[in-house]
Structure 1
Amino acid sequence: MDEDIEFILDSTKESMEAAIKHLEKAFVNIRAGKASPAMLGSVMVEYYGSLTPLNQVANVNTPDGRTITVQPWEKSMLHEIERSIMMANLGFNPMNNGESIIINVPPLTEERRRELAKQAKAESEEAKIGVRAARKDANTDIKKLDVSEDLKANAEVDVQELTDKYVKLIDDILAVKEKEIMTV
């Protein structure tokens, strides 16, 4: 096979992998009812004059499926961390016990589960759009090559097979996430 075609296929595969990685990262932020340190991943704390991610000023743990504990490395940071969690507008009500911050994660309502499932579906559609865009770019690049029509046709078939593989992978990832969200 022509090395230009090989290069196009490799870069297309990389683009499609990036769409999958983006989807997985987006799914981490969609909560599925059980507590996870990633739920506080977007919280930024004012630390000595600069905004710092929460996980860089405290240990964030989940002792059980319904509780998140935040243990600051400096006791003086307790109130600042508590304020930052409330300002992040994540729907949590942090409790400060003087040593650490405890957050009880409320169970999701049926309506909220449906909203989250819808959000997950929208994210997966975005990932599919990314995969299809990679296919379009690859096919455009293949058409510009100075090789035989047979090689071009075979390369386009390879690109379509890659596209089908990654779209199915996205559907599988979505099915797992939807099941996780809808499980009470």
Structure 2
Amino acid sequence: MKKILNQLQEEIHRMRLGSQSILSILENIRVKCYGTFLPMIEISTINIVDHMNLTIEPWDRTLISNIDKAVIDANLGFMPTNKGNLLYIHLPILTEESRINLMKRIKTKIEKSKILIRTVRKKNNQSIKQLKLSDDLSKIGENHIQKTTKEYIQKIEILFHEKEKEILNI
């Protein structure tokens, strides 16, 4: 359940609102260079110009086209502008419609995570039944599993409400 929650947090964090949130995604994009794939952070400097603008300056100028292609292939919803020695990225402003679509995507991810947590609960309850313990012990185990399930679903709901505030308050 903890793994499901951590994965959800990572996915929701990646859903962008501005340059700060997109930075962590850009750092991990893998760029083909020197016969292998390296994370962008290892071959360039990424700077936040302001809330909606970033620059990527490769340490080796010959890699600029590879970085440009990697950013485009990542399909993040924006196009980099090649300025010769650096890439300039302008993040589009979120409209009301794009905010609503973003919330729909987040809600879908939230619901899938809840289903996964309930699936874990079901599997654990089945495992307890297969152990053929006494009724008291199996009830204690099932109650513990149910309590843990409720805790993780509450954590998911809190995560959703925090992200909803962040998206709708900008």
Q: Please, what TM-score do these two structures have when normalized by structure 1?
A: 0.82
- Name the structure 2 match of 1:28: 13
Amino acid at match of 1:17: K
Shift of 1:180: 1.5
Contact between 1:22 and 1:127, CA under 8 Å: does it hold in 2? no
- Name the structure 1 match of 2:127: 141
Offset from partner CA, 1:53-84 (integer Å, 9 cap, x none) = 32332222324321222121211111221233
- Select the residue among 141, 149, 158 that pairs with 1:172: 158
* Matches of 2:109 and 2:28, distance apart in 1: 18
* Matches of 1:55 and 1:129, distance apart in 2: 35
**Using a 3 Å threshold, how does the CA distance of structure 1 residues 86 and 144 change in structure 2: closer, same or farther?**
closer
**Using a 3 Å threshold, how does the CA distance of structure 1 residues 63 and 75 change in structure 2: closer, same or farther?**
same
Offset from partner CA, 1:106-126 (integer Å, 9 cap, x none) = 211111111111111111111
**Using a 3 Å threshold, how does the CA distance of structure 1 residues 87 and 147 change in structure 2: closer, same or farther?**
closer
- Select the residue among 57, 60, 63 that pairs with 2:46: 60
Q: Please, what TM-score do these two structures have when normalized by structure 2?
A: 0.88
Q: Root-mean-square deviation (CA), in Å?
A: 1.9
Amino acid at match of 1:139: N
Corresponding pairs, count: 169
- Name the structure 1 match of 2:100: 114
Shift of 1:136: 0.5
Amino acid at match of 1:87: D
Larger relative contact order (Cα-Cα within 8 Å, sequence gap ≥ 6):
1
Amino acid at match of 1:147: L
Q: Which runs of 5+ in 2 are unaligned?
A: none
Amino acid at match of 1:167: I
